Amino acid sequence: MKIRVGQGYDVHRWVKGRPFILGGVEIPSDYGPLGHSDADLVCHALCDALLGAANMRNIGYHFSDKDPMWKGVASTLLLKKVLEMIREKGWEVGNVDVTVVLDQPKLNPHIPSIKENLAIVMELDIDQISVKATTSEGLGFVGRQEGISAMAVALIQAK
C-alpha cells in the first residue's frame, strides 16, 4: 500500500474582538486570531499537512490571502476543498494529528467538540482525528499572548 505523511504549521497574531474558531468550533474568548479568512489554525495546519503529503504545495498557493474571494471564509470550507483535491488525486486520509499551542484560554473542554466537528467536515471516523493542546510555559510570542500556533501531521494512503 502506498502511503505518505505531511506536516502543517500555522501561526496567527491575537487581536481583541475577533472570533476564536478552531476546527470550525467557536471558543469563548475576548481575543481571536487575526487572518484573511476566519483564521482557524487547526484547519489551516491540517490543509498544509494534507497538501504536503499529496505533494500539492500549501494552503497559500491554493487560497491566496490576496484573493478577495477568500476574505472571511470559513476555513472548514478550505479544508473540504483540500480533501476534494487530494481525493481527486487518488488519496484518502488515514489519520490526522493536531497540536495547538497556547497558554489561554484552556482548550481541553472544547477538544471533543472540535474532534466531532472535524469528523463531520472531513468525512472521517472520530478515531482518525487527534487534537491536543499544550502551553508554551509562558515563553515566546505564545507565552506573551501575542499569538497562537498549531501543528498538524497527516497520513494519506492510495485508494
DSSP helix/strand/coil, 73: coil
CA 103, CA 148: separation in Å to the nearest integer? 9
Q: Where are the alpha helices (DSSP H) in the chain?
A: 41-53, 59-62, 75-88, 111-122, 140-143
User: Annotated binding residue at 62?
Assistant: no
pLDDT at position 46 is 98
In the chain, the amino acid numbered 88 is E
User: Annotated binding residue at 12?
Assistant: yes
C-alpha cell at 58: 500549501
Percent of the chain at pLDDT exceeding 90: 96
pLDDT at position 1 is 81
pLDDT at position 13 is 97
C-alpha cell at 109: 473542554
CA 55, CA 58: separation in Å to the nearest integer? 9
User: Annotated binding residue at 60?
Assistant: yes
User: Annotated binding residue at 135?
Assistant: yes
User: Annotated binding residue at 67?
Assistant: yes
CA 58, CA 20: separation in Å to the nearest integer? 23
Tens digit of each residue's pLDDT (9 = 90 or more) over 20-35: 999 999 999 999 999 9
Tens digit of each residue's pLDDT (9 = 90 or more) over 63-94: 998 999 899 999 999 999 999 999 999 999 99
